């Protein structure tokens, strides 16, 4: 597979980029044809704790007037 890049973010090793792109496609792409006795697993989270879920849960805890406290 050819990689044609103009500017690459300097902090991305080539191997990791390829794996992420690959997993993105095989896990979230492709046709899903399920029947009664098929097994098909989709949308597997690679990070088992999602920061977005964390943000949603802690934002309710953030108090506005934290005067003089840490």
Give the integer Cα–Cα distance in Å for 17 and 30: 20
CB 42 within 8 A of CB 28: yes
Interface residues for another protein in 40-69 (CB under 8 A)?
40-42, 44, 46-52, 54-55, 58-59, 61-69
**Chain center to CA of 62:** 25
Please list, in sequence order, all residues whose beta carbon lies within 8 angstroms of the beta carbon of residue 63, skipping any fewer than 6 positions away: none
From the CB of 47, what's the least distance to another protein, in Å? 5
CB of 48 to another protein, least distance (A): 5
When asked if residue 37 is in the footprint of another protein (CB under 8 A), the reply is yes
Q: Which residues bind another protein (CB under 8 A)?
A: 1-9, 11-13, 16-42, 44, 46-52, 54-55, 58-59, 61-70
């Amino acid at each position: 597979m050819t990689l044609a890049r103009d500017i690459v973010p300097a902090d991305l090793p080539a191997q990791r980029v390829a794996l992420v792109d690959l997993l993105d496609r095989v896990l979230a792409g492709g046709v899903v044809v399920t029947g009664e006795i098929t097994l098909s697993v989709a949308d597997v989270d690679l990070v088992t704790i999602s920061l977005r879920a964390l943000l949603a849960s802690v934002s309710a805890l953030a108090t506005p007037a934290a005067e003089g406290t840490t």
